[in-house]
Amino acid sequence: MSRSLVLLEEQLREVATTGDPMISEAATHLIAAGGKRVRPMISFAVAHALGWSPEKIASFSDSAMVQGAVAVELVHLASLYHDDVMDEASERRGVPSVNLKFGNLIAIVTGDFLLAKAAGISARLSQEIATLLADTLARMCEGQILEVAAAHRLDRNRAEYLAAISGKTASLMAASARIPALIAGLGDDEVTMFTEIGESIGMVFQIRDDIMDIFAPKEVLKKEPGQDLVEGIYTLPVILLLADPTAGKTLSQLLPHASTSRNLRQIAELLRSSGALGESLAAMEQYRDRVTKLVAQLDHYDFSWVINLLAQLIDSAHVAVGQGTGFLRLAT
């Protein structure tokens, strides 16, 4: 996968670079800061499952597989630019956020610029992929709207949470798996199954991220821990604990003051000592089991990279909860 990722990085920088140095600096700011590249990794893992070598991924039809991965990563990057403006974030991936460095207006419009670049790439790949990316972006916005609307709501429930993360996170990972299946010319049934695999990976990823936000330290997260709690975004572990008649009352008194390190530690200990944390970890494993069942139906493909990625995601959440330090290769 390393050769494909090297080509991805080159093309990301090339697409985000313009004739204007300031625009180029703003557009490549988070690209240069690094990141997990989980969405492209899903695309390349699907290509690998289909038997495509790194050489074929890099060369096929002017590197269409890589271009598809670039498009989904650009959409993800654009969402980070917009998220950081909404959250008034000052740091992302261990560097100053784009909004802090360039201001909110530049951050918003640069995010739009990256979206436009992704739209252009997808349109050149095929009309079907362009439609997919547009529909995915709509789902991402719907999920984000649901999350924002639920801010500070102590009665947010599990179904509402899952609906929000399915849109804001899992939809793009589903597209990351679907695009290479479309490029490879698979039949409709198999394209649907690959899409469902990507969606389930996305659900695992977001639940894992939400657990990490509470339990992992700053050096792993590359941002201050507990930001969701501070912003009133109550994720699955918190939602489940709030439903507890006794512990939920204690938690509801701590949440308005989650910005203090002492209260964050208390919240983490409440979660660690309750069944809510175990139930959240179990939810990740349920989505992993969905992938396992789908993979069993596609046993003529090699899903070793997909299974390895899922294992890393789940293991990193368990490590964060047990030891307060995350799996560095997949740090948020």
Question: For the domain that residue 40 is a member of, what is the CATH number?
Answer: 1.10.600.10
Question: Residues 91-148: pLDDT tens digits?
Answer: 888 788 899 999 999 999 999 999 999 999 999 999 999 999 999 999 999 999 999 9
pTM for the structure as a whole: 0.90
Cite the beta strand spans of 234-290 per DSSP E. Answer: none
Cα separation, 100 vs 109, in Å, equals 14
| pLDDT of 221 | 78
Cα separation, 178 vs 37, in Å, equals 17
- Considering only residues 321 and 79, tell me which one the structure prediction assigns the higher pLDDT: 79
pLDDT band at 60 (very low <50, low <70, confident <90, very high): low
Asked if 92 and 77 touch (Cβ cutoff 8 Å), the reply is no
Question: Residues 182-201: pLDDT tens digits?
Answer: 999 999 999 999 999 999 99
Question: What is the rounded average pLDDT of the residues 194-210?
Answer: 96
Smallest CA-to-CA distance from 317 within 213, 169, 174 is with 213
Whether the predicted pLDDT of 88 surpasses 60 = yes
Question: Considering its fold, how many domains does the chain have in total?
Answer: 1
Whether the predicted pLDDT of 259 surpasses 80 = no
pLDDT band at 167 (very low <50, low <70, confident <90, very high): very high
> What does the angle CA 283 – CA 286 – CA 291 come to, to the nearest 5 degrees?
135
Question: Which residue range is the domain that position 14 belongs to?
Answer: 2-330
pLDDT band at 220 (very low <50, low <70, confident <90, very high): confident
CB-count exposure of residue 7 (10 Å: 0-12, 13-18, 19+): buried
| pLDDT of 209 | 92
Report the range of poorest mean pLDDT among 110-114, 220-224, 264-268.
Answer: 220-224
| pLDDT of 325 | 38
| pLDDT of 323 | 42
Whether the predicted pLDDT of 164 surpasses 70 = yes
For the chain, the maximum distance between any two Cα atoms, rounded to a whole number of angstroms, is 60
Residues 6+ apart with CB under 8 A from 260: none
pLDDT band at 1 (very low <50, low <70, confident <90, very high): low
- How large a percentage of the chain has pLDDT more than 70? 96
pLDDT band at 30 (very low <50, low <70, confident <90, very high): very high
Cα separation, 315 vs 177, in Å, equals 22
